[in-house]
Amino acid sequence: MASTPGTPVGNDIRRWRAERGGMTQQALAEACGVTRQTIIALEAGRYAPSLELAFRIARALGAGIEDVFHWRDA
């Protein structure tokens, strides 16, 4: 589980990409309509995505939003 400093939203994007046959950051970015740098920043835990982007990422990975993103207790 990747944690996100400064926000209670964590994600498992990298793990889900790996489980999807090694989907690249670029392929995920294109599927979601964002830049590769956005995916890099999310995976690194630099910020939490908008709700819309979280849904786009989960859908692109073939997963539920709560499978990819999670709320960390403080």
Residues of the domain holding 47? 12-68
18 assigned to some structural domain: yes
Task: Say which residue, 7 or 58, is predicted with more confidence.
Answer: 58
Where residue 33 sits, what CATH number does that domain have? 1.10.260.40
74 assigned to some structural domain: no
Chain segment 28-65, per-residue pLDDT in tens: 999 999 999 999 999 998 999 999 999 999 999 999 99
**What pTM does this model have?**
0.86
Distance of alpha carbon 5 from alpha carbon 25, whole angstroms: 21
Question: Amino acid identity of 55?
Answer: F
Q: Any idea what DSSP says for residue 20? A: T
pLDDT at 74 (0 to 100): 57
Q: How many domains does the chain have?
A: 1
Residue 23 has pLDDT above 50, yes or no: yes
Distance of alpha carbon 55 from alpha carbon 36, whole angstroms: 17
pLDDT category, 4, cuts 50, 70, 90? very low
3 assigned to some structural domain: no
Residue 26 has pLDDT above 50, yes or no: yes
* 30 phi/psi in degrees, rounded to 5: -65, -40
17 assigned to some structural domain: yes
